[in-house]
Amino acid sequence: MKKILIACVLLCVTVAACKGESGSRGKVLSGGANGGPAYGDTLVEGTIGEPSILIPMLAGDSASHSVAGMIFNGLVKYDTDLSVIGDLAESWDISKDGLVITFHLRKGVKWTDGVEFTSDDVMFGFNTIRDEKTPTAYKEDFLQVKKAEAPDRYTFKVTYDKPFAPALTSWGNLIILPKHLLAGKDITKTDFGRNPVGLGPYKLRKWTPGQDLVLDSNRDYFEGRPYIDRYVYRIIPDAATMFLELQAGGVDMMGLTPVQYTKQTDTEFFRRNFQKFRYPVFSYTHMAFNLKHPLFKDKRVRQAIAYAIDKSEIVDVVLFGLGSPATGPYVPNTWPYNPNVKKYPFDPEKAKQLLKEAGWADTDGDGILDKDGRPFRFTILTNMGNSLRMNTATIIQWRLAKIGIKVDIKALEWSTFVNEFIDKRRFEAVILGWSIGLDPDQYDIWHSSKTKEKEFNFVGYSNPEVDRLLEEGRRTFDIEKRKKAYFRIQEILAEDLPYIFLYVPDATPIVSARFKGIKPSPIGISYNLPKWYVPESLQKNRMEE
């Protein structure tokens, strides 16, 4: 299968190369019949945030990564079924002991300034991200590498101390930089971050700060010239304004809020002119308990709270149904996801029963449970400005009041929340979310060694079996063995409940109906953006040369 794929890709490259030689004169209708794929038109995507820098390893915000993803490629990437496939690497071999990965690079790929991409560029990017002086948050995966070699122009070989399963996918990070332009320079001081040269499907034409980034298609892209000639990333900080621009035609593509998706776009106008998509985001929202707190030490109490909360009610009310109840830290329908774990259907009676077993009863008749003279009362903290989390907290507060638990809610500004409360472990329960990588390794979140200040097992979870399984899961490349480990971890987490996993929200993008060729998949819609097209008869924005 893999071979076929590579063959196809090679064919594309050849075709593209031929076209390049014959001189690309504006539009070439490749589909023949009217309505088939055609070159041309502009796609305008609306965004709330402005990218800050287009060197992926230096960027911290999603807007930067989103645009840089159009300009740069990694060695490998995820396929639509979450398996790993080649990107700039044509293929790779992993040694039997799992310690050495050898990448065979694609030949004939060119940076947009015409210089050929080689293993030197991979080595350069690798050395740059490992450099002491590079202020990056992504170097840890690369510090695991014991030795990196580039035996020839098209081979790149890395050796690890220990087998490290996330290693392969870490090479999907966009760390490759053009050595011929950046060697010997301090990348934080160059103009490259605002004027990058890449090798991806699009190249930056113009960046007007605060307004837009205009990208032109890379006609020599190694997977074939993208159909859409121009991609504009338009910055509109207000979601309501962006929605009006969408209606006025100033924006072709944006993410919708739940209300916009279910109500405001439910009109004839939108059905005729737009296409909506919906797929689970790689993240989940949870309520985490401080396991060191006396209230939550008892597993039965945590389970009781889980029974008292109706997750589908939260999804229906808070997300207008645009999400699914979560049962663990993975997204449903992905390979690490275990559907058969202990679930907690909404059952207030069972909740009361469990609390009674744990010694909680309403002895003074004030409607609040108590034990040893102390009422069952705690505060849920969350960050300010996230109405979804506030609404979730309010529903939980109401549900828990019904079984005799008094909940207060406090929303804090993000930095204060993290530095003063999470880091110092001054909380009882919090509502937060995790974005999850496509690799299932969650060592940093659940391993008992990761409970120090600023580390991510902030709830203080400790389970020797989970520790062992986490270790096992990241030390093998065998997907079946990994699957087994992560399935078991989910079973244990569902029993122990350090978090109550609440919901996985859906992404709800909308795109103008004139764009064709969009194929929704578990990793979203924009993975095949270079293959989107507008049939010639529907093209709206002409190129200005």
Partner 1 sequence: MLQYLLKRLAEMIPTLIGITLISFTIIHLAPGKPTDILTDFNPKITPEARERLEKYYGLDKPLIVQYGLWLKRIVKLDFGESFSTDRRPVLDKIWDRKQPLVDRRLFVTFMINVISMVVILLISIPIGITSATHRNSLYDKVMTTTVFVGFAMPSFWFALLLMLLFGISLGWLPISGLKSMNYSSLSAPGQALDRISHLVLPVFIASFGSLAGNSRYMRSSMLEVIRQDYITVARAKGLPEKVVVYRHALRNALLPLITLVGLSIPGLIGGSVILESIFGIPGMGQLLFMSVMTRDYPMIMCILTIGAVLTLVGNLLADIGYMIVDPRIRTHS
Closest to partner 1 by CB, 245 or 496: 245
CA angle 154, 160, 161 (to 5 degrees): 160
Closest to partner 1 by CB, 105 or 235: 235
Identity of the amino acid at 541: N
And the tokens for 145?
A: 């590498």
Number of residues this chain uses to bind partner 1 (CB under 8 A)? 56
Task: Out of 81, 113, 140, 316, point to the residue binding partner 1 (CB under 8 A).
Answer: 140
Closest to partner 1 by CB, 138 or 346: 138
In angstroms, the first-to-last Cα distance of the chain is: 41
Q: Does 266 interact with partner 1 (rule: CB under 8 A)?
A: no
Identity of the amino acid at 178: P
Strand partners, 86: 76
Sequence-distant (≥ 6) Cβ neighbours of residue 290 within 8 angstroms: 296, 425, 427, 428, 429, 459, 460
Task: Out of 77, 106, 139, 514, point to the residue binding partner 1 (CB under 8 A).
Answer: 139
Radius of gyration of the chain (CA): 26
Task: Out of 14, 34, 61, 267, point to the residue binding partner 1 (CB under 8 A).
Answer: 61
Task: Out of 138, 270, 277, 346, point to the residue binding partner 1 (CB under 8 A).
Answer: 138
Closest to partner 1 by CB, 3 or 454: 454
CA angle 172, 214, 526 (to 5 degrees): 40
Closest to partner 1 by CB, 80 or 190: 190
Closest to partner 1 by CB, 52 or 83: 52
Q: Does 208 interact with partner 1 (rule: CB under 8 A)?
A: yes
CA distance 392 to 313: 10
Residue 422 Cβ, how far from partner 1 at the closest point, in Å? Answer: 9
CA distance 68 to 197: 10
Closest to partner 1 by CB, 18 or 248: 248
Task: Out of 16, 38, 44, 502, point to the residue binding partner 1 (CB under 8 A).
Answer: 44
Task: Out of 26, 60, 151, 367, point to the residue binding partner 1 (CB under 8 A).
Answer: 60
Q: Which of residues 211-250 bind partner 1 (CB under 8 A)?
A: 211, 232, 234-238, 240-241, 244-245, 247-248, 250
Burial 278-309 (b: 16+ CB within 10 A, else e): ebbbbebbbbbbbbeeebbebebbbbbbbbbb
Q: Which of residues 175-194 bind partner 1 (CB under 8 A)?
A: 188-189, 193-194
Q: Which of residues 400-459 bind partner 1 (CB under 8 A)?
A: 413-416, 418-420, 434, 442-445, 452, 454, 456
| Greatest alpha-carbon span in the chain | 88
Residue where the block lists tokens 């774990």: 341
Task: Out of 52, 83, 95, 267, point to the residue binding partner 1 (CB under 8 A).
Answer: 52
| Torsion angles phi and psi, residue 160, rounded to 5 | -110, 155
Q: Which of residues 309-368 bind partner 1 (CB under 8 A)?
A: none
Residue 191 Cβ, how far from partner 1 at the closest point, in Å? Answer: 10
Q: 375, 407 in Cβ contact below 8 A?
A: no
CA distance 99 to 82: 23
DSSP codes joined into one string, 455-469: SS-TT----HHHHHH
Closest to partner 1 by CB, 234 or 482: 234
Q: Does 272 interact with partner 1 (rule: CB under 8 A)?
A: no
Q: Which stretch binds partner 1 (CB under 8 A): 14-22, 58-66, 316-324, 328-336?
A: 58-66
CA distance 13 to 20: 10
Closest to partner 1 by CB, 53 or 295: 53
Identity of the amino acid at 43: L
| Helical (H) or strand (E) element with 157 | strand 155-160
And the tokens for 92?
A: 């790779």
Residue 416 Cβ, how far from partner 1 at the closest point, in Å? Answer: 4
| Interface with partner 1 (CB under 8 A) | 42, 44, 52-53, 58-61, 64, 132-133, 135-141, 188-189, 193-194, 208-211, 232, 234-238, 240-241, 244-245, 247-248, 250, 413-416, 418-420, 434, 442-445, 452, 454, 456, 541, 544
